[in-house]
Homo-oligomer: A and B are copies of this chain.
Amino acid sequence: MVINTGEIARKLIREEKWTGPTPALAPGYTQANLVILPYQYALDFFLFCHRNPKPCPVLDVCEKGKFTPVLTADTGDLRRDLPKYRIYENGVMTKEVSSIVEYWQDDFVSFLLGCSFTFESALMKSGIPIRHIEEERNVPMYTTNIPCKPAGIFNGTMVVSMRPIPRQLVDKAIEITSKFPKVHGAPIHVGNPEDIGINDLENPDFGDGVTINKDEVPVFWACGVTPQVAIMRAKPELVITHAPGHMFITDIKDEELMEL
C-alpha cells in the first residue's frame, strides 16, 4: 500500500498498522501538533494562540466534545488517528498511549497547530540543508527571554527552534519561510543567540544539539513547544497532546498553507 495521502496515513494509524513517528508518511500533506484541553481552559488557550500566532499558529479547532477537525480533515478522528499521545495531569506526564478513546470526555476541546515540518520541506526543496535531519536528530529548541502575550491563565516566554544556515542562503531561508505564516513564518531572530537570552547553543533546552559549521549562521524560528510550555506552567488537571514526532496528518497540502 502506498501511503500517499493524509487519509490513507490516518487509516493505517487508526488500525494500529503504523505506530511510529509520522514525518515520512504522506509526503506533501501538512502534519499538525495536537493539544486537547477541558472546556474551562479552551477560550483562554485559543486567546493565547490568537495573541501569539508565530509560535502558536491555529490550523483547526473542534467544538466542545467534537473530535473531527472539519477544516483540515473531515474524515479524521482525533481520538485514534495519531500513533502516540501523551496524557498530562496537573502539568506532569502520566501516560503515553496509542488511542485516547477510553480517555475521551464530552468537555474536551481539541486544537491543531501548525508544525515546522511544512516549512522544512519547502526549505529542502529549495536546496537549503536542514542539519538536524542530516544528522538524524531532533531539532534543537531553546527557551528565550522573549515574552509571549499572556492570555488568561496562560503565559511564558517564547521557545524557538534553531537551524544553522549557510551565510549566503540566510536571505533565501527567510524569504521561503515568510511565505508560511500558518507554520511559524519568518525567523524571529538571526545570528547572536545571546540577543534573545540563549547562552549555551550546544545544549538546547529541548531536542538535540547539532553541528554548526564555520560559514553558518544560527537562525531561530518560533516553535510549537511554546504553547506546551505555557500549558505546563498553568498546570491544568488534564491535557492531552501528540507525542513528539507523532503528529496528526491532515488532508491539506503544504502548498495550500503558502501565501503567494
B109 contacts A43, C-beta separation under 8 Å: yes
B63 contacts A51, C-beta separation under 8 Å: no
Query: Whole-angstrom distance between the alpha carbons of A39 and B41 in the complex?
Result: 12
Query: Whole-angstrom distance between the alpha carbons of A43 and B71 in the complex?
Result: 16
A71 contacts B149, C-beta separation under 8 Å: yes
A50 within 8 A of B: yes
Pick from B46, B70, B259: contact of A43, CB below 8 A.
B46
Number of interface residues of A (CB under 8 A): 19
A151 within 8 A of B: yes
Query: Whole-angstrom distance between the alpha carbons of A121 and B91 in the complex?
Result: 48
Partner-B contacts on A (CB < 8 A): 39, 42-44, 46-47, 50-51, 58, 61, 63-64, 70-71, 109, 149, 151-152, 259
Q: Assuming A42-B43, A46-B61, A259-B259, what are 19 further A-B pairs, CB within 8 angstroms?
A: A39-B43, A43-B43, A43-B46, A43-B63, A43-B64, A43-B109, A44-B63, A46-B46, A47-B61, A47-B63, A50-B58, A50-B61, A51-B70, A51-B71, A63-B151, A63-B152, A64-B152, A70-B149, A71-B149
